Amino acid sequence: MGRMAFEEPILAVESVGKEFFGNKVLSDVSFTLGKGEILGLVGENGAGKSTLMNILFGMPLISSTGGYDGRVVYDGKEARFQSPFDAIDAGVGMVHQEFSLLPGFTVTENIMLNREPTKYNPLVEIFGDRMRTLDRQAMRQRADTAIDAIGFAVDPETLASEMPVGHKQFTEIAREVDRKNTKLLILDEPTAVLAESEAETLVRALRNLSARGISMIFISHRLQEIIDLCDKIVVLRDGRVAQETRPSETDVFKIASAMVGRSVSAASTRVRDAAETEVVLDVENLWVDMPGETVRNVTFSVRRGEIFGIGGLAGQGKLGIANGIMGLFTAGGNVRVRGERLRLNAPAVSLSRDMAFVSEDRRGVGLLLDEAIDWNIAFTAMQVQDKFVRRMLGGLVKWRDDEAMRDAAMEYIKLLEIRCTSHKQRAVELSGGNQQKVCLAKAFVVNPKLLFVSEPTRGIDIGAKRLVLDILKKVNEEQGTTIIVTSSELEELRSICDRIAIVDNGVISGIRPAAAPAEEFGLLMTGDVSVTGPTEGRDI
């Protein structure tokens, strides 16, 4: 692809690091970006992409949490943007994943928003510049120019609310292009919402822009697109640059493996004859209407004693599966538990079938934040199984048994090493890790045969992570509990699961044994199924 030479870099990131409350999310990230160059940035969720972009765009979140280490050299000078306005003034544009268009405004108005060319009128003398009127003709001209520049045909007079998502994306980009001084454009997954043909148009438009000397950082999960479009590819993993390469030197497979890491040592060494045991959970054509995590059509089965992992990128629907089976979101399809069909959309029914759920939304669904630990642990068991209940007046009154609740709470506080002042401490006062242990205790206390655990280690520190995973393993081994773990962290799944299903776009793109090579999972996640051949589906 004959491009101009990139002599002096427009952007140089030099050993940038960032900590959030002692939690290192970026360390020693360095790369350079030349004029007119397109850099593809890839990485799993949580690899540090967003943090890096926030640093480059001067988001207040960064300075309010103590700034960052290292240097960012932009246009020959060290840049420390205090706010996005600084960044915009300096010529950095950002196209967000969520659209920031005014729905009732036309394309032209949206592109020109807050930069409208204006006309003088006598009222200005009295009331000042606020009374200047819009120069609609000039606006229209500039909007046309910007739209032409990205080479996409969109009617400048269409209302934003009436446009398909693809056109909205182009309007956003046109807005950035209209800024005269834009030198660097950051695009956060611009193609995620686009259909394939639209994505191609966008890629073409971006090439146009790069030919005009605008540099770009392009974030995407679609690896083929990255290879097709970019001049340079940076792979982030766990806050570090895992790989920096050129498209000619790599392929989808190599990028995927750099993304998820090659540490096969972490993978499960569990060898079990799961095939010998009977199927306890059989899910067929399940759909779940969970906002942001829609499950479209999922089919899998889990055998007794298995630890089954569900992975995938955020927003693809992996979290919806457990929520749907447990009745928390509207769901449909055919779910059989130990051979018997499960009535969906009724949490009480799911619970009464010896299933328990540790929700990913710990503070929203998982805990009674304002109540004490013992309430949190005992409540579900009390309501579903009449545990911790003393019958009085011939069974007429079901009296809460506070002593039994205390004993159970004490037992789990000891067993799971929950750090607290007493069993009467309120859940809101506990740290994330200890809250998660309370959630687990709540699930264990009902003695589930089938346990769903979603994002068990999200937002908790390393030590607690290890402990939580060990507990799950132990419960599985000692009590034979079948566990279905949903997690965004592939390594975590590989370290405890027997098999892992990867969910992409609401369907399972493949099920692999945990020991399968990491890059295979990476490819399944990014939807490049074709590269790995047909999925094995439900066989074990």
Partner 1 sequence: MGGYIKRFIENAGWPRIIIGMFLISLYIAAPFVNVRVLSSLSDTLVRVGMNGVLVLAMVPMVQSGCGLNFGLPLGIIAGLLGATTSLQFETRGFQGFGFAMLVAIPTAAVLGFIYAQILNRVKGEEMMIATYVGFSSVAVTCMAWLLLPFDSPVMIWAYGGSGLRTTISTEGFWRHVLSDFLAFGEEGGTFYFPTGMFIFFFVMIFLMWAFFRTKTGTAITAVGSNPDFARASGINVNRMRTISVMLSTVLGALGILVYEQSFGFIQLYMGPFYMAFPAVAAILLGGASVNKATMVNVIAGTFLFQGILTMTPSVINSLLQSDMSEVIRIIVSNGMILYALTRKTQVKR
Binding residues for partner 1, rule: CB under 8 A, are: 326, 328, 347-352, 357, 359, 361, 364-371, 375, 379-380, 382-384, 386, 389, 397-400
- What residue type is 464 in one-letter code? A
The b-or-e profile of 479-489 (16+ CB within 10 A means b, else e) is: eebbbbbbbbb
Q: Which lies closer to partner 1 via its Cβ, residue 57 or residue 375?
A: 375
Least separation in angstroms between residue 45's CB and partner 1 is 24
Measured from the CB of residue 294, what is the shortest distance to partner 1 in angstroms? 19
Give the nearest distance from C-beta 267 to partner 1 in angstroms. 32
d(CA 454, CA 487): 6
Dist CA 20 CA 68 (whole Å): 10
At its nearest, how many Å lie between partner 1 and the CB of residue 132? 41
Closest to partner 1 by CB, 376 or 526? 376
Q: How far apart are CA 256 and CA 293, in angstroms?
A: 23
Reference 183, options 75, 76, 105; nearest CA is 75
At closest approach, how far in Å is the CB of 399 from partner 1? 6
- Cβ–Cβ < 8 Å for 3, 62: no
Q: CB 396 → partner 1: shortest distance, Å? A: 10
Question: What is the rounded end-to-end Cα distance, in angstroms, of the chain?
Answer: 45
Which residue number, 254 or 387, has a Cβ lying nearer to partner 1?
387
Identity of the residue, 243 or 385, whose beta carbon is nearer to partner 1 in the bound complex: 385
Shortest separation between residue 478's beta carbon and partner 1, angstroms: 25
| β 38-42/215-219 pair status | parallel
Give the Cα separation of 508 and 204 in Å (integer). 31
- Give me the least distance between CB of 415 and partner 1, in Å please: 21
**Is 184 or 373 the residue whose CB approaches partner 1 more closely?**
373
Which residue, 2 or 364, is less far from partner 1 as judged by CB? 364
Tokens 């544009």 label which residue?
Answer: 93
Between 302 and 446, whose beta carbon lies closer to partner 1?
Answer: 446
469: CB partners within 8 A, 6+ apart: 456, 457, 492, 495, 496
Burial 191-226 (b: 16+ CB within 10 A, else e): bbbbeeebbebbbebbbbbbeeebbbbbbbbbbbbb
- Check if the beta carbon of residue 321 is closer than 8 Å to that of residue 406: no
Give the residue with the Cβ less far from partner 1, 384 or 410.
Answer: 384
